[in-house]
Amino acid sequence: MIYDIETMLGVRSGLIGILATAAALAQTVGPFTAEQASTGESLYQVHCATCHLAHLGGRNEAPQLAGGNFMKTWTRRTTRDLFVYMQATMPPSNRGGLGEDAYVNLTAFILEANGAVAGTQPGWRISA
Ligand code: HEC
């Protein structure tokens, strides 16, 4: 399956930007499905949890990926920024090596872990 990343992640306002307050957070329906978030979680546990920990709390130099500090860092950035950052830099020993779909799913998982609610639409067009 090929996802149209531009459609989902090109949203200029940015999901995380919209989620600036904790109150808004729980209400927001994210541009992803529960299936994408759960696939992302499986990937996360295999490729990311060694450093960022199973519950995204972070450890040493690897920052937390869910919670107040993460939100503070990313609140002014877009969902696309998060996707691009992860694809370019994570995991450090295999940057971008998981493939585009994997980073989309990881993005969905991290959004969900920060309180966004999965919707019924993938949020981006499946073009093939
Ligand atoms: C070997 C340890 C390690 C692994 C594995 C790893 N990371 Fe990281 N990650 C880091 C470190 C260290 C940083 C801090 C920035 C830096 O030094 O590059 C970071 C930063 C991040 C950030 C930015 C956090 C912020 O607050 O700005 C995100 C998002 C992230 N990692 C996601 C992931 C994802 C998703 C995976 C799995 C695909 C992953 N990381 C795997 C060590 C790791």
- The proportion of the chain whose per-residue pLDDT surpasses 70, expressed as a percent, equals 70
Q: Please tell me the residue having the least CA distance from ligand 1 atom 19.
A: 62
Residue 123's pLDDT band (boundaries 50, 70, 90)? low
pLDDT digits (tens, 9 = 90+) for 66-80: 999 998 888 888 888
Predicted confidence at residue 117, as pLDDT, reads 82
Instruction: Give the integer Cα–Cα distance in Å for 52 and 91.
Output: 10
**What tens digit of pLDDT does each residue of 10-46 get?**
343 444 444 444 444 444 566 788 999 999 999 999 9
**Cβ 108 under 6 angstroms from ligand 1:** no
Distance from C-alpha of 24 to C-alpha of 88, rounded to nearest angstrom: 29
pLDDT of residue 125: 32
Residue 54 sits at φ, ψ, to 5 deg, of: -55, -35
Q: Phi, psi (5° rounding) for residue 118?
A: -65, 140
The two three-digit tokens of residue 40, written as one number:
């992302």
The string of pLDDT tens digits covering residues 100-111 is 999 989 999 998
Tell the CATH topology of 5-119: Cytochrome Bc1 Complex; Chain D, domain 2 (1.10.760)
Spatial contact of 30 and 123, defined as CB atoms under 8 Å apart: yes
User: 86 CB under 6 A from ligand 1?
Assistant: yes
Is the minimum distance from the CB of 92 to ligand 1 under 6 angstroms?
yes
**What letter would DSSP give residue 108?**
H
Name the residue ranges covered by the structural domains of the chain. 5-119
